[in-house]
Amino acid sequence: MKRADKIRPVSLRYKLIISSILCLLLPAAITLTVSNLNTKSVVKQHAVDNALGTLEVMDRYIVNTVNKMLYVSNFIQFDSEIQSIIRGKWNDNRLNSEEQFVVNYFNTKKITEKLDNISFPGEKTRITILLKDGTAYSNISQLDYDPQHFFQEPWFKQLAPIPSFSTYWIGTHPSYLAEDKDEGRYFITIANTIKSFSSEPYGYLIVSLSEEQISAIFPENNTNNEHMLLDSKGTILSHPDKSRIGQSFLHFDKLEDESSPSIIKVDKEDYMLLNRKLSISDWILVSMVPYQEAISQINTVQGTNFILQGLFFAVFLLILVALMRQFTKPVFKLSRAVSQVEAGNLQFRTHIQGDDELGRLGQSFDQMLDRIEDMIQQITLEQTGKRKAELEMLQAQINPHFLFNVLNSIRLRIKLKGDEENAALISSLSSLLRMTINRNNEFIALHEEVETVAHYFKLMNFRTSEPITIHINIEPEVASVDIPRFVLQPILENSLIHGFRDYSGSISILAQKQDEHLFIQIGDTGRGMEAKELAQLHGHLTSIESSRKEELKRGLSGIGLKNVFERLRLIYGEHFHYQLASKPGQGTVITLEIPLKSGEKHA
């Protein structure tokens, strides 16, 4: 802590020195950055143009080769003779085994001849038509492979859901021909489903092409560059090095936009990574070009960098000196003014003039000091008035306390004379007056509010010849819940005034917890209300117009029924709900629903 206290705040002059250093270093950094960016831009553009030209040629060749595979696939699917034969094979069960053998022999011969004829010269395309019953038609001798092995391939299950005439790209896989397996050759294969009019697959078309027909266009692997064909997941489909096929391209996540090559490091050497997405599928052509080899052809002139650095140094230094002279004086004036105000001298003023930012800042600072002095005087007057008001409030509290003490003395004297009934009445009156006059707390526990209501009923029954019975049923877990003061008393008072007229009855209070809400139900056995009268009461409770003058004409607390509902809506907002139910001759029931969060506002 002592070491921290010794650290002084950085002065403005020191900040300007730091700024000057930054201003001197910034031109050099800008110059070097611009120069490097220009150099890299030229180098990249030169290398990218060459690589993109190579990728474009490869793209055209691969697209042309794959289009031939698609042509073969489409030709077979739309050839009426081939479709008639395989559809007849699927449906025809009428021939005996000998006749069916002869028909199948000639049909197989026809299809095989067609498959041989649609293969392009120099590009041996392996074609297999496989039916669900295991029957196969192919331009490959079945001595070299078993067509039914396709049923066991992991990709075969993916064919059934695809629509008719849609192509499933299987990608690169080891050759399924016996003569190719020892040589480590690969095929690139596509597949289609052959479906009936009811969309049920009854056959499959598999077209394969040797991977060597694609990798033949790649330059042989050397120290200069590298080309390959990837699928959408980064798996190598074609590469001059056969051992790389099927492996994941380690820098697949570095592939960016085709027009934006990225720089990667392979064996401590930088490479430019370019890619081109084929238009026929999700395949990607990738080219890796050595970066150092590309930039060795370009040697831009660097001598201009030193000239630019010297020029920027001189210009920024002159600007800095001018700015320091211009800004230092007014800032120091403001600093002195702040020190004076901190010392308690509120009469000090900066008197800074000018239309710039510092001039306006000085004038605003002076105006702020003027307002602070005015506010101090105003606060002093307000505090004096507040103390006078507090004194008057303390004096006003003398009369209520005097009244409570006198009532308690009278109650004790009457009780000593044996008049327990009148002593109880005076006790109820004293408690009721204390709760009515003491309104400092906005909220009160539910059981205290109920006690106030009980005292009120004792006094009201004393006044009337027909007593009203009150039944209280409060669950223990909600007895201590805080509710707004004077919520129940005005409702019960309203029931006494309007529900009972010179005849006895009963009023019940039920309080219970339901789903984090407090439900209070006040019911009476009074005269009840007609539907029209009930609607008028509901409209009165929900109307915006105030009826404060009418409610103050009578009642113990001066709080009417409408006031109670307005207070509950203000406190709880949309979380407060109520219900009114009444029938002539059967009484009225009012139900209140408020959240079980004591003393919190929910509006």
**What contacts 24+ positions apart, CB below 8 Å, involve 141-147?**
144/177, 144/178, 144/179, 145/176, 145/177, 145/178
The predicted pLDDT at position 17 comes to 67
Is the domain of 234 the same as that of 345? no
| Residue 40 banded pLDDT, cuts 50, 70, 90 | low
Is the domain of 341 the same as that of 250? no
Is the domain of 142 the same as that of 184? yes
Is the domain of 150 the same as that of 243? yes
Is the domain of 245 the same as that of 356? no
Whether 60 is in a domain gets the answer yes
The predicted pLDDT at position 169 comes to 83
Q: Encoding tokens for residue 119?
A: 């293969």
Is the domain of 210 the same as that of 288? yes
Is the domain of 368 the same as that of 246? no
| Residue 389 banded pLDDT, cuts 50, 70, 90 | low
Whether 27 is in a domain gets the answer no
The predicted pLDDT at position 553 comes to 44
- Cα separation, 468 vs 461, in Å, equals 6
The pLDDT of residue 362 is above 90: no
- Cα separation, 509 vs 479, in Å, equals 12
Whether 414 is in a domain gets the answer no
- Residue whose token pair is 């105003």: 378
Is the domain of 150 the same as that of 226? yes
Whether 36 is in a domain gets the answer no
Is the domain of 219 the same as that of 352? no
Share of the chain above pLDDT 70, in %: 74
Whether 500 is in a domain gets the answer yes
Instruction: Report the number of distinct structural domains present in the chain.
Output: 3
Is the domain of 262 the same as that of 359? no
Whether 552 is in a domain gets the answer yes
CA angle 124/130/136 to nearest 5° reads: 80
User: What amino acid is encoded at 119 in this protein?
Assistant: S
User: 247 lies in which domain range?
Assistant: 49-293
Q: Which of 293, 308, 341 is the last residue in one of the domains?
A: 293
Whether 413 is in a domain gets the answer no
Cβ proximity of 65 and 123 under 8 Å = yes
Q: Which of 293, 309, 343 is the last residue in one of the domains?
A: 293
- Domain with 488 in it: what CATH number? 3.30.565.10
Please return the burial class of 83, using the count of CB atoms within 10 Å of its CB with bins 0-12, 13-18 and 19+.
Answer: middle
**Mean per-residue pLDDT, 250-258:** 81
Is the domain of 478 the same as that of 381? no
b/e map of 196-219 (b: 16 or more CB within 10 Å)? Answer: eeeeebbbbbbbbbbbebbbebbe
**What CA–CA distances, in Å, run from 174 to 170, 193, 211, 249, 472?**
12, 22, 9, 18, 88
Share of the chain above pLDDT 90, in %: 4
**Mean per-residue pLDDT, 493-515:** 83
The pLDDT of residue 235 is above 60: yes
| DSSP tag of 244 | G
Is the domain of 246 the same as that of 112? yes
Q: Name the pTM for this structure.
A: 0.43
Residue that wins the pLDDT comparison between 497 and 204? 204
Whether 117 is in a domain gets the answer yes
Q: Which of 375, 395, 415 is the last residue in one of the domains?
A: 395
Rg, the chain, Cα only: 49
